[in-house]
Structure 1
């Protein structure tokens, strides 16, 4: 769990900083009136969970699991990392919406759901990439 907390905290804190960067860059204010509110800068945010999950699952395999990892072990570790990161990122997003951008009208639940789907897909892909071959099924 120590590994999941470490890398989940990295993902959550970097995601919170990214929310601040988007605000300072004016990503939400410059959206077209008839658009859905997305900025091209928002799409860059998928790099944060991908890199965090990759290094977190790799660290789990190399440092905590003796250099071996089965597919489901990687998935389980990735989910733990994403839960920790999601809680921290949700805290930052809540503070941002409550105190900084009260008038910002965006579909927060849709974006949180999208982030969850991206996290699951990244976890599956990275677990497949980093797992050791099975000798017996």
Structure 2
């Protein structure tokens, strides 16, 4: 098999390739649906946001499959699959987090204020958290990474071969 140094070098190539694809797709979908959907209600924006996250995180499956089939002679252990998937999800999270930051800082700087007003109107004022663009972007990175872990686990279970 591969030495540990070679494994990390080859794994890094897979992670960077599929993570970059996912980050770019996530960034573009997120910016497009937020910029074009400025007049949409928050519920619809939330659905579109999760949809863009899941589409972007689909690159986890393809990254693990590529590593298994093209790099590692048709085998991948669950632990390596999860590691590859989580690293891809971090890159996707960064792409979506940057898009979220750009949107809330420059495209729609009133987003958090408008969202707060919507929560108050719906009687959900107890859910209000003072948010900044930076906090929102970091939250998105964390959220995408957690969802990415679950997708990595499922993908690893499907694709693992010993």
- Quickly name the TM-score band, shorter chain normalised: 0.7 to 0.9
Structure having the higher Rg: 2
Q: Which structure is richer in relative contact order (CA contacts within 8 A, separation 6 or more)?
A: 1
Match in the other structure for 1:34? none
Cα 1:30–1:49 change in 2 (3 A) is closer
Number of equivalenced pairs: 127
Residue 23 (structure 1) aligned with residue 34 (structure 2): yes
Once the two structures are superposed, what CA deviation does each residue of 1:55-98 show, in whole Å capped at 9, x if it has no partner? 11101111121111111010111112112222232222222222
Deviation at 1:41, TM superposition (A): 2.4
Partner of 2:43: 38
The structure carrying a bigger helix percent of its residues is 2
2:82 corresponds to 1:82:
no
Deviation for aligned residue 1:112: 4.4
Give SS of 1:38's match. Answer: helix
Q: Which segments of 5 or more consecutive residues in structure 1 lack a partner in the other structure?
A: 32-36
Alpha-carbon separation, structure 2, partners of 1:54 and 1:86: 16
Query: Does residue 123 of the first structure (1) align with residue 152 of the second (2)?
Result: yes
Contact 2:19 2:91 in 1 (8 A): yes
1:7 aligns with 2:18: yes
Distance 1:84 1:50, change over 3 A: closer
Query: Would you say the 8 A contact 1:79–1:123 is kept in 2?
Result: yes
CA apart distance, 1:16: 0.8
Shift, 1:132, TM fit: 0.9
Q: Is the 8 A contact 1:22 1:41 kept in 2?
A: yes
Unaligned runs of 5+ in 2: 1-11, 116-130
Aligned to 1:71: 78
- Cα distance in structure 1, aligned partners of 2:14 and 2:25: 17
